C-alpha cells in the first residue's frame, strides 16, 4: 500500500471535516523537508467573521521565511456544494491579492483542496495574473486531481517538483 493510500484511508479520530489535515501535513513535510531548507507552517485562516468556513492553510516556506506555496483545505463533502466551491475559488484569488506585494517567487502556487480532490492555482508575479481567474468555472470536475489515484498523486507531485525548481532558481 502506498503511503498516500494509507494516509487517506486511516481513521484519524478527529472532528468531522478535519480528517485530511493530518495526512496533508505528513505529505507536505515529507516532500518539503527541513533538510532541503523548507518549513511547512499550518495555520487556521479565518476569512470572514460570519463565514462558517474556517479552512486550514498550510504555507510552505523556505528557512529564510520566503513563502513558496500554499495549500487550503476544505471538507470533502463540501465539494458537491456550488457555493462552497465558489467560496473556495474566491478565497484563493483573494489570498493571491493579499500576498501579491510580498511574493518572492515568479509563480506562486496554491492548491485548493476538498478532501482528496485538488485544484491548482498559479499567480504569475510578472503579469499579475491568476490562472484560473475569477471568471473561471467552479464545477466539481475542476478539482480534478484525485489523490486516491496514482495519476492524481503523480500530478500533485509534479506541482511540488515545479515549486521546488522555481524556489531553487529564484534564490
- Dump pLDDT digits (tens) for 78-117: 999 999 999 999 989 999 999 999 998 999 999 999 999 9
SS3 state at 171 = coil
β-pair partners for 153: none
Weakest-pLDDT range from 3-12, 123-132, 157-166 = 3-12
Domain of residue 145 covers: 3-169
Predicted structure pTM score: 0.86
- What is the distance between the alpha carbons of residues 125 and 129, in angstroms, rounded to a whole number? 7
- What is the distance between the alpha carbons of residues 168 and 171, in angstroms, rounded to a whole number? 6
Q: Is the pLDDT of residue 17 over 90?
A: no
For the segment 32-59, the average pLDDT, to the nearest whole number, is 74
Weakest-pLDDT range from 29-38, 52-61, 88-97 = 52-61
- What is the distance between the alpha carbons of residues 96 and 75, in angstroms, rounded to a whole number? 21
Q: Is the pLDDT of residue 9 over 70?
A: no
Cα separations in angstroms, 156 against 14, 65, 87, 152: 25, 23, 22, 6
Total count of domains within the chain: 1
The H or E element that residue 54 is part of is none
- What is the distance between the alpha carbons of residues 145 and 135, in angstroms, rounded to a whole number? 21
Please report, rounded to a whole number, the percentage of residues in the chain having pLDDT higher than 90: 57
Grid coordinates of 137: 468555472
Amino acid at each position: 500500500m502506498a503511503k498516500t493510500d494509507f494516509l487517506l484511508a486511516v481513521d484519524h479520530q478527529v472532528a468531522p471535516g478535519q480528517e485530511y489535515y493530518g495526512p496533508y501535513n505528513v505529505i507536505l513535510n515529507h516532500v518539503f523537508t527541513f533538510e532541503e531548507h523548507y518549513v511547512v507552517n499550518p495555520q487556521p485562516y479565518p476569512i470572514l467573521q460570519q463565514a462558517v468556513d474556517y479552512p486550514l492553510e498550510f504555507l510552505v516556506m523556505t528557512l529564510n521565511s520566503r513563502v513558496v506555496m500554499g495549500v487550503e483545505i476544505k471538507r470533502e463533502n463540501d465539494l458537491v456544494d456550488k457555493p462552497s466551491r465558489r467560496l473556495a475559488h474566491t478565497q484563493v484569488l483573494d489570498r493571491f491579492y493579499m500576498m501579491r506585494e510580498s511574493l518572492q517567487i515568479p509563480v506562486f502556487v496554491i492548491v485548493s483542496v476538498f478532501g482528496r480532490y485538488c485544484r491548482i492555482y498559479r499567480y504569475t508575479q510578472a503579469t499579475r495574473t491568476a490562472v484560473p481567474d475569477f471568471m473561471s468555472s467552479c464545477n466539481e470536475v475542476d478539482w480534478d486531481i484525485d489523490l486516491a489515484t496514482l495519476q492524481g498523486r503523480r500530478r500533485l507531485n509534479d506541482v511540488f517538483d515545479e515549486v521546488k525548481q522555481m524556489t531553487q532558481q529564484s534564490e
